[in-house]
């Protein structure tokens, strides 16, 4: 189950993956945790079916796909779930998000003699739990979560329970599903269908769920029970980038279909920008619904005019500098029969560095387009993220250093248009104060501490 | 170059892959062949960049992606390119297609004491070449090709030349490109753009091309020269399944864009079948252009209503029998906001076994469709292929054993419609006598020998 | 250097091995530790020469060969050197010996929230160091060593120093060598010659040596300086089993050649036991010098009458139960031309379980011996070891449960003779009170705590 | 069984190893061959016990340890046993020795179109067998053996039989053993004891043995029957180097204990050279019996004065040029307490290049010897071997280019003495005309063809 779930969530992290199961060792009459982790995609790390069948036995499990935002990606000790055995028993943890007071806490604990194994911010939660004086694991974890700040969607496995928790702002998604008598927790709802589970509800910002076997014994029956506790007041700030780019289109966030929201972005784009063109083409895959929305609202024909190679993943070797353009060429091919002699509108989901977009514009002109209008289904990204998405330093963000016209020239496009910020909020159909929009506005809901030095206000 | 080319052709074979380069060993003053092969995708087998940079040096190279039609897939000796050193020098070979007189030839050679290393039909060409009494490699290869029958698109590397050859019928594609002073040969034209090469022309049925360094020395200059010889009269029979399913949409075959032909299939479908529905949805990815064509011709809105997981490849573990439906569920998810309460038209490229189609129909109904009309952008597949596509035995082909109504019931669809055979030919815009259509008609252009016993005429 | 040293010390641990180097990262201007560890012999774990040349750069290094006495051998986290990064900087540690107050200390630290990574007793020293309030690493380590009890010969690598320390009793050996301007520390002196170093002196019981670059900077010059501190009063108790069995014959301990001491044991045996026989044969390899000594003193001819297979190591698969004797048969072969029809004296170094000895007696009789006299160059082993040698539980020690005559019967020997305890001490030529003889006497120099329950007094 | 046998024969080849079993596939009702091969020692290549238990099932098996004399050692295709499937069925082959007409035969077969997979001379036997027109496998193999010339001790596995054959001169050993109702064939008799088998007799020069299940069926009963055929007249020429260096001391050749013959060499040395010295020390391990023989005959005390590291094998990384002496230092250590101030006699088995001997002399002087007399238990090696032992080119043989006094100077020894050729023959106690002594005499019993150019007569 966990394997299929991780596979459905592969887009959230492609560097490394792992699964931990909680098994009851009847010979030694105590729980034990079984682990398999590795660098690469889910299908590669678990390609030996025996790992799943024989090695990862047990009644409950958690997994993790790694996408590094803190902690060196080459360090194998940084692959989650983290597993430890401490006074309170076994503990495994998977964390999505970034802790903003990580440095302060790490220095404090190191000052008290704690030895860290990884360079990841997530490890801090384990040490805080192990050092808690509270009498049971649930209380210890709760105390640890009261100490950390920032973004965290967590699943934790103990000897007796599966715990799910989300920070008070709910920056990153986390959802609860049901599969017969059992419960399932996943970052996105798209993980439920492949395992036959039904989406129940989102874990609330500030909520902690404790799922255990009815009766409570680690070696006990199959039926699960669930307890919820609001461990901090909810102040929701879902990262709007989940809608713009990160989440899978077949997921649902705050009651909205991600695909439908992206289509709305395209419709809104058409309202804001009236263009004359012969064909609307998405940059595959994220921008497809926005391009369909734009085409329908504008009346300009939609075409899949750029084909994406279906086998491009992380293991693909990045070409050398002197063949720099090959990266995009190996990934995307234009269809001249659709493009040649046409006024083309390209729709993309967002512009970050702008280097790929520039190559796409060139590629479409090379395929014979007479005009290339570049439309972006989100506002300019002017500020870096600190809550769990790996954006480059601010000076590498195209919109942080260039005006609209400068950007258009950089891309080499006939025209360049962004969705307005107001249009974005309106098309998302969620109140602005329930969203984190820091990438566009520079407004950070949680103090980012000393990292504030990395950000300056962008004035144009 | 070969790596990027193989990567672009990954869809033609995902089991195993290999590259052989021809290098001149200046120390020992003679050519030597360098090889790396392995089971898996191109990006995985060559994931160590040092293999490409250091190990596979040389001035010319060939590669192969394996898709097994003969020869056990688990046998590593069956991974191509095959490399041998014989009296005439080094020889490496990559073969796409099936030899129809394979068994007869193998028995004859074994009877004369030849030892075979693999169970693949392709190895026969090597032995015939090595046993030829002709005085040079080119003549030896030519003699070998005059002996074999069936489908072959070949690239062969010798100590001095790169040879490309195609059987007299040209069942499988093979194209010539140019990259500066050098030449490139690939199964499909989609391999040229990623490496910056330009498509020149197709290798003709019955043609053999010999590409060598100008002046002819193995250690010689960089400029290439090319010689063409028609080694057998051309009688073109390109497999129409390349258009229907196999080739990449951004390839060109016989002067036609594959994507455009597929769009024509959709337009033709709309002419043949007038349906009332609310939305047209492709089964991703092959059927997308057909669905767009159908939608445009019928006026029914097009939607990407089924999302495909982008990480599904061969290494993905097939779920056990009791979770049979998970295979499709892990791969495809419907979008209820598009489907619920709607009369849905699903467009797929073809129906072979029908098991996947059945699950897709169920999935779309489960997502709330009121009607599910299943449209197929090709005629019923009633006969197996013997020229290089891995189709199941005839009795496992849905259309070989069931009438249209029986098929509809099996799928559980509201209605089921196929493209007519005449419509297929017309929409392909290539004369029928230049195509191999055996999957639909049971007419086999080359005698399939004793395998004829595997086929019976389908009457409905 | 470390590789060759570990290789010379391979006999002290064959389960796993590792090397850690301290390198100065000039880019980031700070020290970093580089590590390679693995299960198996030194030559196997480091068989890729690039690991040594490229990966393990640096100016100082420590290594470790694992021989498990505490901590599960299958746990990879138990492979030393242990490496951590804590407040004080990088720290790596290799430990030979057993800590007797391990359980108490671990429980105390876990109670305070410390998370342990391994099940090894050695890890405790790292946590005690990290938690020390002392202001520099040297003082922190010193404080940690004042807390632990038991046997420890240690090498520790910090960002600026290489530290060597030995417990106040000096149970296990530890020696200092010099190589040009540099210093080397090794468990036995036999590690010096292979790297071209000269033996300087033993580290004293209770001594801590700090070796650093002259001037003290981590990125500094090549000349080393050394400081010594007696951190606890010396009360020497070298484990006499190092002479009897464990150390390599070409090592020197307390000024004595191990080979020479073993020869003395043989001479002493001859004084104590006058036997009539035709030939003296050692069980190879440890007993060879004792057999030579016995032969010379008794005048009975010495012969290598049992040949040892030179390729028997840990990776050799233990045969199944029903071929139980194959283990010894695959390892040792008798030479009938030496044995047949003779009265044979076999000399072995010690008897622990007695199972191998029994098979050897049978093998020699099968080769035609008329009499087999079994002589042991040490007294009966009646008590288990708790200071770093892996002996079985007391009830599995042959001499703990059987009288001399019972043992003789068990072995099936014509006669059985042990070296007397007094003879052992006398032949070692070291005062009895400077030796730990607990295996023979049951007198344990350090309180073994709750493990005392595992031992009972043997009366015969 | 084969695993334990290969392990006992590890000294005959340490590069690579493999096992092939013949199993009857009851599902498909036909025999099949199962294989596992790899680079490294037996214990490493087969360290996964499942390979032996599950993968290598069957009723008969052959194995091989590779020691390369022809064919590049890095080529994995050169690892034996070779396995092929040809018209006659399955065939696997293990070959010890060198074929002298290899080049001629390979050129002839290649000229007829045969493709070779390896660069090994052994493959020729497979092709000759496959091309034979004889009607059964036994006759085909016999015909192949009548065509090849040179040294071959062979075991061959067919679908129904285990075949053992030895060339008419019997250059390399081959012995038959019995284990209950079954038969065992091995290069040396030392392989029988570890598996519980009894030595029956040597395979005779020119003899071919066919061992099959009684009744002859591949799926048949357990009892074996054996047929012998003299396929060529016997003209025995056992390579005397088997006694001098190659064979294990616990093997028996032509009725002589190898260990006893080596002891005789030492006794003979003492007869030929009367020296004044304090101690006799062998270079371990081969020279130990010769040193014991010498010591006993001369009355000078025997000592193990040089200790050999027991973990030195092929995987050990050869040190760089600038630490050239470390190779010997990592392998051998002198014991100063035995050597210092003494007149030392070192006994070695042979001198080939002389580089190791030179370092040993220096090492012994460095350990304090006042004189170092170097005695060699065989005559000077002046000519290369062409029948299966890997000797260097003639100009690299110390005795091929230097006089006795020049050699002494090169070694730096006080004196240097060799066993006389006549003494060697006499001490071997086998008629000279039954031995191949070409290394010492330059007399080659079989024409070595064009390789004769590599040899010139040595006159001193």
Average pLDDT rounded to a whole number, residues B54-66: 92
A117 → closest Cβ in C87, C114, C117 = C117
What is the model's pLDDT at position D184?
Answer: 97
For testing the chain B interface, which of D74, D78, D113 should be mutated: the one with the most B CBs within 10 Å? D113
Give the gap in angstroms from C-alpha B200 to the nearest C-alpha of chain A: 16
Is residue B299 less than 8 Å (CB to CB) from chain D? no
What is the model's pLDDT at position A48?
Answer: 81
Is residue C116 less than 8 Å (CB to CB) from chain A? yes
Compute the mean pLDDT over every residue in chain D, rounded to the nearest whole number: 91
pLDDT at A2 over 50: yes
- Separation CA C51–CA C45 (nearest Å): 10
What is the model's pLDDT at position D317?
Answer: 57
pLDDT at A420 over 60: yes
Cβ-based contacts of D330 with chain C (< 8 Å): 4, 7-8, 194
Query: Percent of chain B scored above 70 by pLDDT?
Result: 94
Judging contact as 3 or more Cβ pairs under 8 Å, the answer for A and D is: no
For testing the chain A interface, which of B9, B300, B315 should be mutated: the one with the most A CBs within 10 Å? B315
Write the CB contacts of C346 (distance below 8 Å, at least 6 apart in sequence).
C281, C282, C283, C306, C360, C361, C364, C372, C373, C374, C375, C413
Compute the mean pLDDT over every residue in chain B, rounded to the nearest whole number: 91
Compute the mean pLDDT over every residue in chain C, rounded to the nearest whole number: 91
The chain B residue lying nearest D115, using CA atoms, is B86
Measured CA to CA in angstroms, residue C209 lies from C163, C165, C218 at distances of: 6, 6, 17
Cβ-based contacts of B111 with chain D (< 8 Å): 87
Average pLDDT rounded to a whole number, residues D279-305: 97
Local structure of residue B10 (DSSP, 8 states): G
Is residue D116 less than 8 Å (CB to CB) from chain B? yes
Chains with 3 or more CB pairs closer than 8 angstroms to A? B, C
pLDDT at A69 over 90: no
Asked whether the beta carbons of B277 and B373 are under 8 A apart, the reply is yes
* DSSP 3-state of B7: helix
pLDDT at B107 over 90: yes
Give the gap in angstroms from C-alpha C107 to the nearest C-alpha of chain A: 8
Least confidently predicted of A300-304, B186-190, D100-104, D360-364: D100-104
Is residue A299 less than 8 Å (CB to CB) from chain C? no
Tell me if D337 and C259 make a contact (CB, 8 A cut-off). yes
Tell me if B249 and A335 make a contact (CB, 8 A cut-off). yes
Q: Which runs of E-coded beta strand occur in B57-190?
A: 60-66, 82-86, 89-96, 153-158, 161-166, 175-179, 182-186
Tell me if A87 and C130 make a contact (CB, 8 A cut-off). no
Q: Which residue numbers in chain C have pLDDT < 70? A: 69-75, 215-222, 313-326
Find residues 371-400 of chain B whose CB sits inside 8 Å of chain D: none
Asked whether the beta carbons of D3 and D63 are under 8 A apart, the reply is yes
Count of A-C CB contacts under 8 Å: 46
Q: What is chain B's Cα-based Rg?
A: 23
pLDDT at B324 over 60: no
- Residue with the bigger pLDDT between A77 and A383: it is A383
Is residue B43 less than 8 Å (CB to CB) from chain A? yes
Find residues 328-357 of chain C whose CB sits inside 8 Å of chain A: none
Structural tokens at position A430: 């969620």
D113 → closest Cβ in B111, B117, B130 = B130
Q: Other CB atoms closer than 10 Å to residue C68's CB: what's the count?
A: 17
Give the gap in angstroms from C-alpha C73 to the nearest C-alpha of chain A: 17
- Residue with the bigger pLDDT between A431 and D68: it is A431
What is the model's pLDDT at position B321?
Answer: 39
Judging contact as 3 or more Cβ pairs under 8 Å, the answer for A and C is: yes
Is residue A111 less than 8 Å (CB to CB) from chain C? yes
Is residue D443 less than 8 Å (CB to CB) from chain B? no
pLDDT band at D11 (very low <50, low <70, confident <90, very high): very high
Q: What are phi and psi of D399, to 5 degrees?
A: -75, -5
Tell me if C336 and D296 make a contact (CB, 8 A cut-off). no
B113 → closest Cβ in D85, D117, D130 = D130
pLDDT at D219 over 80: no
Asked whether the beta carbons of C177 and C202 are under 8 A apart, the reply is no
Helix (H) or strand (E) run with residue A265 in it: helix A258-272
Local structure of residue B322 (DSSP, 8 states): G
Cβ-based contacts of C262 with chain D (< 8 Å): none
Chains with 3 or more CB pairs closer than 8 angstroms to D? B, C
The chain B residue lying nearest A323, using CA atoms, is B195
Residues in chain B: 460
The chain B residue lying nearest D123, using CA atoms, is B115
Is residue A152 less than 8 Å (CB to CB) from chain B? no
Among all chains, which residue has been given the structure tokens 């993905």? B316
Give the gap in angstroms from C-alpha D38 to the nearest C-alpha of chain C: 15
Whether pTM > 0.95 for this model: the answer is no
**b/e sequence B15-34, b meaning 16+ C-beta within 10 Å:** bbbbbbbbbbeeeeeebbbb
What is the model's pLDDT at position B33?
Answer: 93
What is the model's pLDDT at position D322?
Answer: 41
Query: Percent of chain C scored above 70 by pLDDT?
Result: 94
Cβ-based contacts of C85 with chain A (< 8 Å): 115-116
Measured CA to CA in angstroms, residue A24 lies from A28, A52, A164, A219, A229 at distances of: 9, 17, 21, 6, 27
pLDDT at A352 over 50: yes
* DSSP 3-state of D132: coil
pLDDT at A72 over 80: no
Is residue D43 less than 8 Å (CB to CB) from chain C? yes
pLDDT at B440 over 50: yes
pLDDT band at B216 (very low <50, low <70, confident <90, very high): low
Asked whether the beta carbons of B400 and B389 are under 8 A apart, the reply is no
Instruction: Dump the DSSP string for A97-157.
Output: S-BTTHHHHHHHHHHTTPPBSSS-TTHHHHHHHHH---SSHHHHHHHHHHH--B--EEEEE
What is the model's pLDDT at position A448?
Answer: 83
Cβ-based contacts of B84 with chain D (< 8 Å): 115-117
Tell me if B85 and D116 make a contact (CB, 8 A cut-off). yes
C193 → closest Cβ in D42, D193, D329 = D329
Cβ-based contacts of A85 with chain C (< 8 Å): 115-116
Asked whether the beta carbons of C402 and C203 are under 8 A apart, the reply is no
Asked whether the beta carbons of B187 and B173 are under 8 A apart, the reply is yes
Tell me if A130 and C113 make a contact (CB, 8 A cut-off). yes
Count of B-D CB contacts under 8 Å: 47
Most confident of A3-17, D25-39, D50-64, D285-299: D285-299
Q: What is the dihedral of CA C78, C79, C82, C83, to 10 degrees?
A: -110
The chain A residue lying nearest C110, using CA atoms, is A87
Tell me if A44 and B44 make a contact (CB, 8 A cut-off). yes
Q: Other CB atoms closer than 10 Å to residue C201's CB: what's the count?
A: 10
* DSSP 3-state of D12: helix
What is the model's pLDDT at position C449?
Answer: 79
Query: Percent of chain D scored above 90 by pLDDT?
Result: 75
Among all chains, which residue has been given the structure tokens 């070949």? B154
Enter the ipTM.
Answer: 0.91
Find residues 307-326 of chain C whose CB sits inside 8 Å of chain D: 307, 309-313, 315-317, 319, 323, 326
B330 → closest Cβ in A8, A303, A319 = A8
Find residues 251-270 of chain D whose CB sits inside 8 Å of chain C: 257, 259-260
Cβ-based contacts of C127 with chain A (< 8 Å): 113, 115
The three-point CA angle D244-D250-D251 to 5° equals: 70
Give the gap in angstroms from C-alpha A362 to the nearest C-alpha of chain B: 13
Cβ-based contacts of C111 with chain A (< 8 Å): 87
pLDDT band at B217 (very low <50, low <70, confident <90, very high): low
Average pLDDT rounded to a whole number, residues A376-380: 98
pLDDT band at B388 (very low <50, low <70, confident <90, very high): confident
Tell me the CB-side half-sphere exposure of residue C14, using CA atoms within 13 A.
10
Average pLDDT rounded to a whole number, residues B348-363: 95
pLDDT band at A319 (very low <50, low <70, confident <90, very high): very low
D337 → closest Cβ in C257, C309, C316 = C257
Cβ-based contacts of A303 with chain B (< 8 Å): 292
pLDDT band at A451 (very low <50, low <70, confident <90, very high): confident
pLDDT at D319 over 70: no
Q: What is the dihedral of CA D62, D67, D72, D74, to 10 degrees?
A: 80
pLDDT band at B221 (very low <50, low <70, confident <90, very high): low
Is residue B177 less than 8 Å (CB to CB) from chain A? no
Largest interatomic CA distance in chain A:
75
pLDDT digits (tens, 9 = 90+) for D234-264: 999 999 999 999 999 999 999 999 999 999 9
pLDDT digits (tens, 9 = 90+) for D384-406: 988 888 788 899 999 999 999 99
């Amino acid at each position: 189950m966990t394997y299929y779930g991780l596979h459905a969530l592969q887009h959230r992290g492609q560097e490394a993956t792992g699964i931990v199961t909680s098994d009851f060792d009847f010979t030694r009459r105590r729980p034990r945790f079984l682990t398999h982790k590795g660098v690469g995609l889910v299908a590669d790390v678990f390609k030996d079916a025996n790992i799943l069948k024989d090695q990862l036995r047990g009644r409950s499990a958690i997994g993790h796909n790694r996408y590094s935002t803190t902690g060196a990606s080459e360090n194998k000790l940084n692959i989650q779930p983290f597993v430890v055995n401490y006074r309170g028993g076994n503990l495994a943890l998977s964390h999505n998000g970034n802790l903003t007071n990580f440095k302060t806490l790490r220095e404090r604990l190191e000052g008290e003699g704690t030895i860290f194994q990884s360079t990841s911010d997530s490890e801090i939660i384990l040490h805080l739990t192990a050092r808690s004086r509270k009498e049971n694991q649930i209380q210890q974890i709760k105390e640890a979560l009261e100490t950390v700040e920032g973004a965290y969607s967590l699943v934790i496995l103990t000897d007796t329970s599966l715990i799910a928790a989300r920070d008070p702002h709910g920056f990153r998604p986390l959802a609860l599903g049901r599969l017969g008598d059992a419960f399932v927790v996943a970052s996105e709802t798209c993980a439920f269908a492949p395992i036959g589970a039904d989406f129940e509800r989102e874990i609330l910002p500030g909520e902690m769920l404790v799922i255990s076997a009815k009766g409570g014994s680690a070696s006990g029956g199959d039926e699960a029970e669930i307890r919820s506790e609001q461990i901090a007041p909810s102040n929701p700030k879902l990262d709007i980038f989940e809608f713009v780019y990160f989440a899978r289109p077949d997921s649902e966030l705050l009651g909205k279909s991600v695909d439908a929201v992206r289509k709305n972005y395209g419709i809104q784009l058409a309202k804001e920008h009236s263009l004359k063109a012969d064909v609307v083409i998405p940059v595959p895959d994220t921008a497809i619904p926005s391009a369909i929305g734009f085409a329908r609202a504008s009346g300009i024909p939609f075409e899949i005019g750029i084909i994406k190679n279906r086998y491009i993943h992380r293991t693909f070797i990045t070409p050398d500098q002197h063949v720099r353009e090959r990266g995009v060429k190996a990934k995307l091919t234009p269809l001249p029969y659709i493009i040649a002699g046409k006024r083309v509108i390209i729709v993309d989901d967002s512009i970050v560095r702008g280097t790929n977009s520039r190559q796409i514009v060139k590629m479409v002109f090379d395929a014979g387009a007479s005009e290339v209008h570049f439309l972006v289904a989100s506002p300019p990204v002017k500020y870096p993220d600190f809550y769990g998405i790996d954006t480059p330093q601010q000076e590498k963000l195209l919109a942080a250093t260039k005006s609209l016209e400068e950007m258009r020239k950089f891309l080499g496009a006939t025209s360049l248009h962004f969705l307005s910020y107001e249009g974005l909020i309106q098309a998302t159909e969620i109140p602005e104060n329930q969203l984190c929009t820091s990438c566009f506005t520079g407004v950070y809901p949680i103090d980012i501490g000393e990292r504030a030095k990395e950000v300056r206000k962008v004035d144009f």
